[in-house]
Structure 1
Amino acid sequence: MRTVLVLMDTLRRDALGCYNPEGAAQTPCLDAFAQDSVVFDNHWIGSAPCMPARRDIMCGRYNFLERPWGPVEPFDVTLVDGLRAGGTYTHIATDHCHYARTGGEGYLQLFNTWELFRGQEGDPWVSRIDEPNNMPETFYGRVREQYQKNRGRWPREEDMPSPRTFRAACDFIDENAQDDDFFLMVEAFDPHEPFDVPDTYMELYGGSDGLDRDYFEIPPYKRVSDTDIPDSAVDYVQRRYKALVTMTDHWFGTLVDKLKERGIYEDTMVLVTTDHGYFLGERDYLGKNYMHLYNELAHLPFIVHFPGGARAGERAGQLTQAIDIMPTVLEAHGCPVPPEVCGASLMPLVTDAEAPTRDYGLFGVHAMTVNVTDGRYTYFRAPVPGNQPCFEYAAIPHTIRHKMGTECPDEIECGRFLARTNYPVYKIPCRKPANIDQREDCLEEVHDSLLFDLAEDYGQTHNLVGEDAAAEEHMVALLRRGLIEHEAPREQFDRLGLEPVEDAR
């Protein structure tokens, strides 16, 4: 069995023609791939943002209920460990720079072999002390000096990190096409910001029309109305995002072409998805993390080419999430699914279009709202005022931008606090969500609980909390059930204003 998992960071669902024929980016390669595959219409975010989503994939269970952004933990039972135990060769090619920073440890090292292409975002790669000579004089949003240094290292499109990632994946296929048992993970940082894309792709979307400054590639994580960014610049960055999606689509196409060239496309399982979406001015938002997880962030693309082209061109309405990838790949390779895994294998869908998956999905950012969907309704449960009690649980207390508990070391406990393992972990008071760093009140945008009926209101504009008592009661009960079944720490019930239950730990 051969499996290729392609993860494109920040790939919005509505950017793909197979989901949004009107107004999508130009994605001919992904659209053609969708014709050969099953397109999942009800795929949802789990833990957000980047590294929490990857731990969901690797462990088959939610990260966000226990901790924020962080490494693979010593007690984690992972997808790659299971594959390697069964004799499957594993390799990852990626330019996801967060694997090389504090809080991203342990993921790459799971694989038999791995390649990391440097330079994305603020990756401390090019060691030039002086300011680079390509700093823009005028700009909207943010400019990273380190990225400006890095980007000087790729004079051609094919030298950029995400194209190099896809090229490396093609090299792996060339070298190993004769092998019938491998797992290849291809992880492109694009189309994540900065939206750095050659002019040839921008010309497909109107070039630099509407931009009255030199640079706008990194939006601030703020409301548009709280910035000096005019509508014309918002339109420009939306077009710039689409241009980067088109470039990423092109390089994805080279990978599919290579699989076909080597004669292994038909009997290879290829899964394509993302970790989260992004706001590009919709609802007055730019960026991610600090707002409710509306559909722009949470309703994700997921396209699977099953071996033999099974069910090619069909749509699947079953509810799915990233935690389902681990059991799917393990079952496809004939490996046992560990009992710790909470995801559902999708392999039954190969032969049975009506096979069940799950009837709800939880999702969220640690220490923010906890959200649930049943595929029709989305319910965002806001924390109580003060957002307490709230803790981070970790054996390795690293997270994005800092180490956990440095401001309250005398309050940290250590013990066997997680139901699924006897491995001792730190229990660290959390007073500020780790992923929120550009505002004083981290929860100012999520003080209220929200309920939406997607069948009638996909745009999520009409809050049904207090209006539809039956739907609200149903979703609250589903949320409580989810917290219990996924072994959420007991204080999550208190933090969310839910009556605790005896079997919650």
Structure 2
Amino acid sequence: MKFKILTVALLILLNIINGCHVDVKSGIDKKKLSEKPNIIFLLADDLRSTALGCMGNSHVITPNIDELAGQSVMFLNAYHVAPICMPSRTSIMTGKYLGTHGSGFDRPTNYVITKEEFETSYPVLLRNSGYYTGFIGKFGFAVSEGPEKLVDKGYENKQEYMPKKHFDVWNGFPGQGSYRLGKGGTFNGYENIWHSDHLNEFMGHQAIEFIEKANKENKPFCLSVSFKAPHAPFDPQEQFRKLYDKEKIPRMNNDSPEYYYELPKVVQLKSRNADWYFGRMNRPDWHIEIDSTYEMFIKNYYSLITGLDNVVGQIRQKVDDLGIAGKTVIIFTSDNGFFCGSRQLMGKAILYDESAKAPLIVYDPRYMKEKKGITEQGLVSIIDIAPTILSLADVAKPESMPGESIMPIVWNEKEEINDAVYGENNFDNNQPVISEVKNPDNYQSIRSKYVRTKNFKYIRYPECHPEIEELFEINKDTLEANNLVHLPEYEDIVREMREKLDSFEKEYVRYHNTP
């Protein structure tokens, strides 16, 4: 107690000496934090939250991300709002829910983002405030020049719908891109001036080039690096694949029939995730019910992550070499998770944690330089990313962003910012919607929505007849294995979770399938 009193007294004295810049609670020099930092935002593709060494995975090799996490705040309960790439990436940049922005792969959304909508995204707002901005990699969604919400016809795959003019440096590409050299010896249209043999390596060179160029500008920079890895096709660099040759990697701990048969029937029968696992797709390398195929897949998947990790290390080394590491904030996350055999599923989008949970690491050297890594349990939504980046740049978030900055948690000023998080899956593999069928009373769809609180997670399949609901006491049942929705003792909890979900829908969902 005496030590604590002396510490507080010393901080108060420092406040007086330094002009009241040090916050007594957190010990942060507010004057230092008021200086606009450089911001590097790193986004992986299809990276499940547990596929990192720092998350306790002893099989994947991620030394650079692990080192970053060991100097950062790592959020253990960060959640996607639409765990599939196009809507998720739109939500990350605009800070809006899928049901609000409408940029989804399937109906009822399936629209592009208008120019006016994109002008309230974090990269545009930062550039308008004086930041030097760059984008590298897979962009993932379409931005139109007009005010109309165009019905999507693969516009995200077309160059003319990429927002090049909104960045100082544009090294992005439409569609999925390729890991390997394409026509004319280019990587997704960019000349291979560094003689790279893989997209991960090439994007690393692009990132370093941008950082060197941005460092010469008389302004802070924001670089968004959007990896393709570890998205399919699972084609890693040979140097990283060799690291796993002698390893025997076990299946996920819920990759067994009892977890599959607990899934709602609509998921078993209609989800392409099950098709991938059980060999009903035309890609034999995705049929991971076969042990040898699983080993091939998981080693290639992890090898892509290791290649991505190598780029993270190169980026950190460059900012250190340039002497700007102390004023460069790094945020690392993914656009969605991946089942990797969990529940005997292969893909994403379905709203269990393997798909819906995000890795999230925030490194602020102005606060964390002398500290070891910190883990946080508070709920965070992926729509909190844009407000977080804006707050770092001291830019007010627009009213269209319902999320909150997570920096008060990073700076130890708050323990949590959300009492609940929400998300939805509107991807049903382009099956007919309920308004298109003759017998809507028999309609079944895997389109679904969820709400997660501190202790519970509730999932609803609202278009199924009868409606399907699941409730998990997720703080104890982390594998979401025991559905409690029909147990009388949880009746009040179910009612409360239904109301929370209804409230999110009422406020943020503009697009609905109607019978």
Q: 2:277 aligned with 1:224, yes or no?
A: yes
* CA 226–36 in structure 1, closer or farther in 2 if over 3 Å, else same: same
What is the count of residue pairs matched by the alignment? 403
- 145, 166, 174: which one pairs with 2:204? 166
Where 1:234 maps in the other structure, the secondary structure is helix
* CA 456–83 in structure 1, closer or farther in 2 if over 3 Å, else same: same
Where 2:330 maps in the other structure, the secondary structure is strand
- 328, 335, 342: which one pairs with 1:275? 335
Would you say the 8 A contact 2:179–2:235 is kept in 1? Answer: no
* CA 29–99 in structure 1, closer or farther in 2 if over 3 Å, else same: farther
Looking at structure 1, the residues matched to 61 and 396 of structure 2 have their Cα atoms a distance apart, in angstroms, of 40
- 226, 237, 243: which one pairs with 1:204? 243
Looking at structure 2, the residues matched to 278 and 365 of structure 1 have their Cα atoms a distance apart, in angstroms, of 14
Partner residue, 2:168: 112
Partner residue, 1:47: 82
Looking at structure 1, the residues matched to 166 and 493 of structure 2 have their Cα atoms a distance apart, in angstroms, of 43
Any idea what the Cα deviations from partners look like across 1:410-441, whole Å, max 9, x if unmatched? Answer: xxxxxxxxxxxxxxxxxxxxxxxxxxxxxxxx
Partner residue, 1:175: 213
Looking at structure 2, the residues matched to 117 and 164 of structure 1 have their Cα atoms a distance apart, in angstroms, of 13
Partner residue, 2:134: 91
Would you say the 8 A contact 2:137–2:171 is kept in 1? Answer: yes
Partner residue, 1:432: none
Q: Displacement of 1:372 after TM fit?
A: 1.0
Any idea what the Cα deviations from partners look like across 1:74-102, whole Å, max 9, x if unmatched? Answer: 34122122112212121111145766961
Q: 2:456 aligned with 1:377, yes or no?
A: yes
The one-letter code sitting in structure 2 at the alignment partner of 1:93 is: I
Looking at structure 2, the residues matched to 204 and 303 of structure 1 have their Cα atoms a distance apart, in angstroms, of 25
Partner residue, 1:427: none
Partner residue, 2:472: 452
Q: 2:74 aligned with 1:74, yes or no?
A: no
The one-letter code sitting in structure 1 at the alignment partner of 2:423 is: F
Would you say the 8 A contact 1:10–1:278 is kept in 2? Answer: yes
Q: Which has the higher helix share?
A: 2
* CA 78–12 in structure 1, closer or farther in 2 if over 3 Å, else same: same
Would you say the 8 A contact 1:37–1:305 is kept in 2? Answer: yes
Looking at structure 1, the residues matched to 219 and 365 of structure 2 have their Cα atoms a distance apart, in angstroms, of 12
Would you say the 8 A contact 2:86–2:140 is kept in 1? Answer: no
Q: Which has the larger radius of gyration?
A: 2
Would you say the 8 A contact 1:276–1:297 is kept in 2? Answer: yes
Comparing 50-59 with 302-311, greater Cα deviation is found at 302-311
Any idea what the Cα deviations from partners look like across 1:288-308, whole Å, max 9, x if unmatched? Answer: 23xx31111111100001141
Would you say the 8 A contact 1:266–1:309 is kept in 2? Answer: no
Any idea what the Cα deviations from partners look like across 1:437-463, whole Å, max 9, x if unmatched? Answer: xxxxxxxxxx73221111221111111
- Root mean square deviation of aligned Cα: 3.3
Comparing 97-106 with 337-346, greater Cα deviation is found at 97-106
- 264, 268, 273: which one pairs with 2:324? 264
Looking at structure 2, the residues matched to 64 and 490 of structure 1 have their Cα atoms a distance apart, in angstroms, of 6
Would you say the 8 A contact 1:58–1:79 is kept in 2? Answer: yes
Q: Displacement of 1:50 after TM fit?
A: 0.9
Looking at structure 2, the residues matched to 91 and 341 of structure 1 have their Cα atoms a distance apart, in angstroms, of 22
Looking at structure 2, the residues matched to 221 and 31 of structure 1 have their Cα atoms a distance apart, in angstroms, of 32
Partner residue, 2:11: none
Partner residue, 1:463: 483
- 288, 294, 314: which one pairs with 2:374? 314
Q: Displacement of 1:127 after TM fit?
A: 5.3
Partner residue, 1:302: 360
- 233, 244, 257: which one pairs with 2:293? 233
Identity in percent: 26
The one-letter code sitting in structure 2 at the alignment partner of 1:385 is: C
Looking at structure 1, the residues matched to 193 and 294 of structure 2 have their Cα atoms a distance apart, in angstroms, of 27
Partner residue, 1:27: 62
Q: Displacement of 1:369 after TM fit?
A: 0.2
Looking at structure 1, the residues matched to 296 and 192 of structure 2 have their Cα atoms a distance apart, in angstroms, of 24
Q: 2:509 aligned with 1:483, yes or no?
A: no
**Runs of at least 5 residues in structure 1 that lack an aligned partner in the other structure:** 129-146, 211-218, 388-446, 496-505
The one-letter code sitting in structure 1 at the alignment partner of 2:75 is: F
Where 2:311 maps in the other structure, the secondary structure is helix
Looking at structure 2, the residues matched to 23 and 95 of structure 1 have their Cα atoms a distance apart, in angstroms, of 29
**Runs of at least 5 residues in structure 2 that lack an aligned partner in the other structure:** 1-35, 106-110, 144-153, 250-271, 428-446
The one-letter code sitting in structure 2 at the alignment partner of 1:115 is: N
Where 1:48 maps in the other structure, the secondary structure is coil
Looking at structure 2, the residues matched to 65 and 191 of structure 1 have their Cα atoms a distance apart, in angstroms, of 28
Q: Displacement of 1:7 after TM fit?
A: 0.6
* CA 158–127 in structure 1, closer or farther in 2 if over 3 Å, else same: closer
Q: Displacement of 1:226 after TM fit?
A: 4.6
* CA 377–284 in structure 1, closer or farther in 2 if over 3 Å, else same: same
